[in-house]
């Protein structure tokens, strides 16, 4: 927005010579019918701010040494708005005036106790020259934001001020102009100068959530386009350069499936199973749906060759619950818990997937690359998850809807802390994060009271899968022997939009198609 509000000040300068007296005489040309009531207030709305000031000065004679004040105010004009406003002064001043016109700008949010007025002096005749040495009367401590001279064709930025209308107080400005008395001003006879004051918004910013709502594009694109407005979003600098939410509790909450979920990030190059790659939002349920076994098929059943289960997600008993069983169908049933096909009752009749949520879920290719060692930093996990190193006979990909987070999702979600920063956390092997509370306590995917399954298998065995421990580290556990928390993760369809909300837990983002 670049609206300009103009106050035109035209001062006519005439030198009168008579009876041996040299007199510099000025009159303000108010360009109206002379009725002072018509000189009062002009109001301009500049989006989020309101500018109010006098349109022209009241007419009076101006002698060398006299001062005048132009007063105006700036205040909020809406409930939301962030940006920078600028106050400019443009002058057209013949060179004969030199530096005789001095300009000062003061401001205050308390004009009763902090203000600027002029103490008007009596005219004085001295050495055949008449002048009037006014003085400035400053009450309290108004802030001086500019002081200088008006020169030929000058373009002065009097102030650039940040504003956030949620905290913006009404601000009163006093523009003081002083026609200084230099003792010899004959050369200014018959000349005039003019000045134009303008107030404009040079950069109006909406908050991140406001920009997302106003964005006429998909949710993924809108988040990317406005990510610079949020310090909770960071690119992971991988080959895919995904944009991820980081920190202990970022504003990444989203209302999905009639409950709170959270946005992991904007993930690039996600394949839909037909060879098409798109950018999609990846989300995870805010709280686990329960504690279950990753896979507990008895030895000789499906891909399981051990009583400890199988780390093939394609026929995992947990995968079946999430994608075709009780959770997917929003009903009750039996879920895997313990070895050799043991189960526990599970009821998802109020927490399973609803039809509207299913319409927003993408069928995508999930990478199942394995990692042989627990001692790897986040970037190594990310590369290995998308690699082809797996235990003999295990697949490297699976196409479906509901999965789990990767160890790299957990690692890249940290913001680090004051003792060890994000870069140091990312360089540290995930197994050793338990030594550095700054890494895991500033990671919103960390659960303080429970361990949680990931999707990634070990490549050195047929039954081990990585999990995030309650003490912050990543290690493997047996797919069929131990229960860990299960938080479903998924990719939204690429046409999903964000239609409301601010991303907080109390006001989550709203989704629409």
Domain ranges of the chain: 7-205, 208-512
| pLDDT of amino acid 44 | 66
Give the span between the Cα atoms of 166 and 163, in whole angstroms: 9
Average pLDDT over residues 418-443: 97
pLDDT at 87: 87
Q: Tell me the pLDDT band of 46, cut-offs 50, 70 and 90.
A: low
The Cα–Cα gap between 22 and 128 comes to 6
Chain centroid offset of residue 202 CA: 18
Over 70: is that where the pLDDT of 260 sits?
yes
Are the beta carbons of 366 and 316 closer than 8 angstroms?
A: no
CA distance 160 to 125: 42
Q: Quick one: pLDDT band at residue 25, thresholds 50, 70, 90?
A: very low
Strands 253-256 and 509-512: parallel
CA 64 to chain centre: 52
Kindly state the tokens that stand for 393.
Answer: 């006979």
Q: Where is mean pLDDT largest: 26-35, 66-75, 180-189, 468-477?
A: 468-477
pLDDT, average across residues 374-385: 95
> How far is 480 from 465, CA to CA, in rounded Å?
10
Structure token pair of residue 46: 């500049």
What integer pLDDT is reported at residue 189 of this predicted model? 66
pTM score over 0.75: no
Cα(332)–Cα(384) distance, rounded to whole angstroms?
Answer: 36
């Amino acid at each position: 927005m670049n609206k300009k509000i103009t106050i035109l000040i035209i001062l006519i300068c005439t030198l009168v010579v008579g009876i041996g007296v040299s007199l510099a005489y000025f009159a303000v040309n108010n360009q109206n019918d002379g009725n002072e009531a018509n000189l009062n207030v002009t109001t301009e709305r500049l989006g989020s701010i309101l500018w109010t000031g006098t349109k022209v000065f009241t007419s009076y004679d101006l002698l060398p040494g006299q001062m005048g004040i132009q007063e105006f105010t700036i205040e909020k004009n809406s409930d939301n708005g962030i940006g920078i406003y600028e106050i400019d002064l443009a002058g057209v001043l013949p060179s004969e005036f030199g530096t005789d016109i001095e300009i000062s700008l003061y401001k205050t949010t308390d004009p009763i106790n902090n203000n600027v007025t002029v103490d008007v002096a009596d005219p004085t005749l001295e050495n055949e020259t008449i002048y009037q040495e006014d003085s400035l009367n400053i009450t309290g401590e108004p802030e001086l934001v500019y002081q200088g001279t008006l020169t030929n064709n000058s373009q002065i930025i009097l102030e650039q001020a940040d504003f956030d209308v949620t905290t913006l107080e009404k601000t009163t400005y006093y523009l003081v102009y002083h026609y200084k008395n230099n003792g010899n001003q004959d050369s200014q006879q018959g000349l005039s100068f003019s000045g134009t004051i303008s107030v404009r918004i040079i950069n109006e910013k909406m908050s991140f959530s406001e920009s997302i709502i106003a964005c006429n594009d998909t949710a993924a694109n809108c988040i990317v386009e406005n990510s610079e407005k949020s310090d909770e979003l960071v690119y992971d600098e991988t080959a895919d350069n995904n944009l991820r939410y980081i920190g202990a509790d970022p504003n990444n909450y989203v209302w999905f499936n009639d409950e709170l979920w959270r946005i992991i990030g904007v993930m690039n190059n996600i394949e839909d199973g037909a060879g098409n790659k798109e950018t999609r939002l990846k989300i995870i349920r805010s709280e686990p749906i329960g504690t279950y076994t990753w896979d507990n098929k008895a030895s000789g059943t499906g891909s399981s060759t051990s009583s400890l289960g199988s780390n093939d997600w394609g026929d995992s008993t947990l995968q079946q619950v999430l994608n075709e069983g009780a959770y997917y169908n929003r009903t009750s049933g039996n879920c895997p818990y313990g070895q050799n096909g043991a189960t526990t009752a599970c009821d998802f009749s109020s927490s399973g997937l609803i039809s509207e949520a299913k319409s927003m879920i993408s069928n995508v290719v999930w990478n199942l690359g394995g990692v042989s060692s627990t001692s790897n930093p986040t970037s190594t996990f990310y590369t290995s998850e998308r690699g082809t190193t797996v235990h003999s006979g295990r697949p490297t990909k699976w196409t479906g809807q509901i999965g789990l987070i990767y160890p790299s999702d957990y690692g890249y979600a940290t913001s680090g802390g004051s003792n060890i920063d994000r870069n140091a956390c990312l360089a540290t092997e995930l197994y050793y994060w338990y030594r550095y509370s700054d890494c895991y306590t500033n990671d919103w995917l960390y659960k303080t009271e429970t361990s949680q399954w990931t999707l990634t298998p070990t490549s050195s065995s047929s039954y081990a899968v990585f999990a995030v421990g309650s003490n912050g580290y990543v290690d493997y556990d047996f797919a069929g022997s131990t229960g860990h928390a299960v938080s479903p993760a998924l990719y939204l369809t690429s046409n999903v939009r964000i239609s409301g909300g601010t991303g907080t837990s109390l006001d989550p983002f709203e989704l629409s198609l």
